Amino acid sequence: MLSVLTVLSVQYTRLTRNASERSGGASDQLAGFYAAEAGLERVKARLGADTGAPDWPGEPWADTHAMPGRLNGWAVAVHVTDEEGKINLNAADPDMLSRLFEQFGLRRQERDILSASLLDWIDSNDLHRLNGAESDYYKSKGLLTGARNAPLDAVEEILQIRGAPADLLDRTARHGKASHSFAACVRITGDTRVNLNTAPPPVMLALGFTKEEVARLRDARAKSPWTSVSNISSVIGDARAEFFKSRLTVSSSWFLVESTASRPGAQSVSVFARLLRAHGRIYTAGFWA
């Protein structure tokens, strides 16, 4: 709890300093900050009112077009993403990671290095995997910090790991007309399971579905959301459904929210929060501006 409070206080301090450095003045930026925060509260209320499974893009909490707001002259826009529609970097297995990285342009050898190095980064020991990297590798490169030996604290942390291309988070994978960034396909919270109602195609392919299965599953969910994981047997057959059952869910507990306040003539202010819904309540597990 103490560490969370410390982070919050550091972030507030940074916001205040940035605000006073800009021409608009601190009080003006603070008003924008409060407006953005009000947008965040609105999302929390919607998520709190949702009764749970299934969680899918047609629900009120996901309909950000229905949530624009205005506060003291600031226009507020919010964007909510279901974290559980993404691959958990802290819980994915090597095959999942390799299939994910492949879609963002990493060649075989590059995928092997990054997958093994990510697993080495997370595991508590200093034993190298084949193609992996532990603290001695990073020290040999002149870096002051070694492998974390604990779960990632932020998605961006992957850029510090051996084999990660500097532009990885911004790289995109195309599926039909839509393109998805790497950053939009990964998370650090929750367990291994992915919400089948919100997962984009690169995530579904990383889980191990074939392209044809992805197309069929998406066609089906476009008509109505999946209300139970076992129902996918009607689309991909019993054996495949059984294989994927433990990797999937139809509801979510973790959500990422971006709320931006803007006003003509003023610098816009964005706040971000990672929310956890548990036992009918909404908790703010992370907050930054």
For Ca ion, the binding residue among 123, 171, 183, 272 (CB under 5 A) is: 123
Least gap, CB of 278 to Ca ion (angstroms): 14
- Burial (CB < 10 A; 0-12, 13-18, 19+), residue 111, is buried
Q: Smaller CB distance to Ca ion: residue 149 or 181?
A: 149
How near is the Cβ of 55 to Ca ion at its closest, in Å? 4
Q: Does 120 bind Ca ion (CB under 5 A)?
A: yes
Q: How many residues bind Ca ion (CB under 5 A)?
A: 6
Give the residue nearest to Ca ion (CB): 55
Amino acid at 79: H
Q: Helix 2-21 and helix 26-49: axis angle, to 10°? A: 140
Output the smallest distance, CB 225 to Ca ion, in A.
Answer: 9
Q: How far is the CB of 11 from Ca ion (least distance, A)?
A: 29
CA distances from 145 to 15, 125, 135 (A): 27, 15, 7
Q: Which is nearer to Ca ion, 110 or 123 (CB)?
A: 123
Per CB under 5 A, 157 contacts Ca ion: no
Least CB distance to Ca ion at residue 62 (A): 9
Q: Nearest Cα to 99, choosing from 185, 30, 157?
A: 185
Q: Which CB, 103 or 117, lies closer to Ca ion?
A: 117
Q: Judged by CB, which is closer to Ca ion: 28, or 55?
A: 55
Residues 19-78 that bind Ca ion (CB under 5 A): 50, 55
| Burial class, 97, CB count within 10 angstroms (exposed 0-12 / middle 13-18 / buried 19+) | buried
By CB under 5 A, residue 149 contacts Ca ion: yes
**CB closer to Ca ion out of 35 and 164:** 164
Least separation in angstroms between residue 285's CB and Ca ion is 19
Which spans of this chain sit near Ca ion (rule: CB under 5 A)?
A: 50, 55, 120, 123, 147, 149
